[in-house]
Homo-oligomer: A and B are copies of this chain.
Amino acid sequence: MKYEISNRMSDLQGSAIREIFKYAADPEVISLAGGNPAPELFPNEELSKIAERVLREQPVLALQYGITEGYPVLREAVKARLAAKENIGREGDDLIIVSGGQQGIELATKVLVNEGDAVVIEEPSFIGATNAFRSYGAELLGVPVEEDGMNIDALEKVLSEHENVKMIYTIPTFQNPMGVTMSVEKRHRLYETAKRHGVLILEDNPYGELAFDGVKTPTIKSFDEDGIVMYSGSFSKILAPGLRLGFFCAPKEIVQKVVVAKQCADVHTAMLPQILAAEFLKEYDIDALIVRMRANYAHKCATMLSAMEQYFPKDVSFTRPGGGLFIWCELGHGLDTLALSKEAVKEKVVFVPGNTFMADISKPCSALRLNYSTMTDERIVEGIRRLGIVFEKALAAK
């Protein structure tokens, strides 16, 4: 039988990052590709105690069906935390617990975007989100990202030229893949521009708590008096990604439809991860854990940057993140980093080629993304050394 795949899915390929994970399973391979948090920081002893106790003492809560909106204790704790730390959550907003930040993005798209509608993305942007948009037949309109975030003049131009834009997707803080942060001034301009054009904003903020200096930049959602911002958050980078826990805060009318879409998607998020997070927030000090993460990532980022200065050809340029997990590298000279990534695999080091993050992934790209959170110092330095050799060779052949 010939299987006819739906129009929305027929051209969609798996994320290159997920494919690269398969190489990364080889312990000899140095992976600078994924976005895996530092495993040495997982609070596994604490979670082990909570899991043992909850399953023993509250079997019905932990193992029976739950409600689609999320475990009420966790939902209230997340709402309180967002209100206190981010000034998020107005009268007209609601919040749903989702199975990872990814699910909030996917369900918002299902609920809002018709086939043929457009979504404005930062270019480059997170492949998980851009693929979710593609999977509902959305047209992607790219807006360039600068050192201080999205180019708002370019955004204005795109919105003026397109009638079919449904939402603007942005990762304003420690952007994936560039590692840059949008200035406060640009956040306000972005908000006002979206408002003027009657377009929703989807603000994705998985790395907001991971500023090396601990200083928070106000979220766009924090000044959402008009109910035009949807906010996607995650426990993946502040607790553990394997739990698949995120949250989605948006105007009530949108959240209500997201609840219906989530009933269809997975009924509700698994109870045990929800209870683990809720109990961890209650019994332990997640802020202290986040402080340790910041220090760890600041150190690893500095280690990677100094290795890049030592080993990379002199005209390779790169970002200098103030937090998050990623550095963006520009090789220039018309190099194609997709081809280079295959050379790098031979040297047992992997990264994500830049084309992955573009609206049109088929165009060659001379940039690439590096991750510093996953590997040890030693492997970061060795990985960068090997990449330096690959890049030198490629440039010499030009």
Contacts and interface: CB of A to CB of B under 8 A. Distances in A.
Contact of A42 (B6, B60, B269): B60
A251 B1 CA distance: 10
A67 to B, nearest CB: 6
A261 interface: yes
A103 to B, nearest CB: 5
Interface residues of A, number: 89
A44 to B, nearest CB: 3
A306 interface: no
A236 B271 CA distance: 12
Contacts of A236: 65
A45 interface: yes
A214 to B, nearest CB: 24
Contacts of A245: 270
Interface string A230-246: 00000010001111110
Contacts of A47: 55, 63
A244 B259 contact: no
A13 interface: yes
Nearest to A227: B1
Contacts of A6: 110-114, 136
A240 B111 contact: no
Interface string A107-139: 000111111000000000000100110011000
A251 B3 contact: yes
Given A59-B44, A198-B1, A241-B65, A264 B106 contact: yes
A157 B326 CA distance: 58
Contact of A67 (B18, B53, B103, B273): B18
Given A52-B48, A264-B128, A3 B241 contact: no
A346 interface: no
Nearest to A7: B114
A244 B269 contact: yes
A52 B6 CA distance: 43
A343 B243 CA distance: 42
A228 B64 contact: no
B253 A268 contact: no
A383 interface: no
A281 to B, nearest CB: 16
Contacts of A261: 9, 135
Contacts of A102: 264-267
A259 B240 CA distance: 22
Contacts of A63: 39, 42, 44, 47, 240-243
A260 interface: yes
A63 B62 CA distance: 18
Contact of A266 (B22, B45, B112, B244): B244
A345 interface: no
Contacts of A263: 14-15, 18, 128, 131
Contact of A103 (B1, B9, B37, B265): B265
A261 B136 CA distance: 10
Interface of A: 1, 3-9, 12-15, 18, 21-22, 34, 36-37, 39, 42, 44-45, 47-49, 51-56, 59-68, 99-100, 102-103, 106, 110-115, 128, 131-132, 135-136, 166, 198, 200, 226-228, 236, 240-245, 251, 253-254, 257, 259-261, 263-273, 276
18 contacts: A1-B251, A3-B251, A9-B110, A14-B68, A14-B263, A36-B64, A42-B63, A44-B56, A48-B51, A51-B52, A52-B52, A66-B242, A100-B267, A128-B267, A135-B264, A244-B270, A270-B273, A273-B273
